[in-house]
Amino acid sequence: MLEFGGEALVLTHDAMAEGVHYLPGQDAADIAWKLVATNLSDLAAKGAQPLGVLLGYRFGGDDARFVQGLREVLEHYHVPLLGGDTIGGAGSQVLGLTALGRATHRPVPARSGARAGDELYLTGPVGAAMMGFEALRTGGGDSAAYRRPAPLLAAGQALAPLVTAMMDVSDGLLLDAARMAEASGVTFALDRMAVPIAAPEQRRDDALRWGDDYQLLFCVPAGTPLPVAAHRIGEALPRAATPLLLDGAAPSGTLGYQHG
pLDDT of residue 252: 83
Of 154, 185, 204, the C-alpha closest to 43 is 154
Residue 82's contacts (CB-CB under 8 Å, 6 or more residues apart) are: 52, 53, 54, 100
> What percentage of the chain carries pLDDT values higher than 70?
98
pLDDT of residue 256: 77
What pLDDT tens digit does each residue of the chain (260 aa) get?
A: 677 777 889 999 988 888 777 888 889 999 999 999 999 999 999 999 999 999 999 887 789 999 999 999 999 999 999 999 998 877 778 899 999 999 999 999 999 999 999 999 999 999 999 999 999 999 888 999 999 999 999 999 999 999 999 999 999 999 999 999 999 999 999 999 999 999 999 999 999 999 999 999 999 999 999 999 999 999 999 999 999 999 999 998 888 765 44
Question: Which segments of the chain are extended strands (E)?
Answer: 2-4, 7-17, 48-58, 81-87, 94-103, 119-122, 165-168, 186-190, 216-220, 231-238, 244-246
**What kind of fold does domain 119-246 have according to CATH?**
Phosphoribosyl-aminoimidazole Synthetase; Chain A, domain 2 (3.90.650)
Residues β-bridged to residue 103 = 48
**Boundaries of CATH 3.90.650.10 in the chain?**
119-246
Order of strands, sheet of 119-122, starting from the edge strand that comes earlier in the sequence = 165-168, 216-220, 119-122, 231-238, 186-190, 244-246
pLDDT of residue 142: 92
pLDDT of residue 60: 79
122, HSE (Cβ side, Cα atoms, 13 Å): 27
* CATH number for the domain running over 2-103: 3.30.1330.10
* pLDDT tens profile 145-155: 999 999 999 99
**Boundaries of CATH 3.30.1330.10 in the chain?**
2-103
pLDDT of residue 139: 86
Q: Is residue 157 helix, strand or coil?
A: helix
Eight-state DSSP code of residue 194:
G
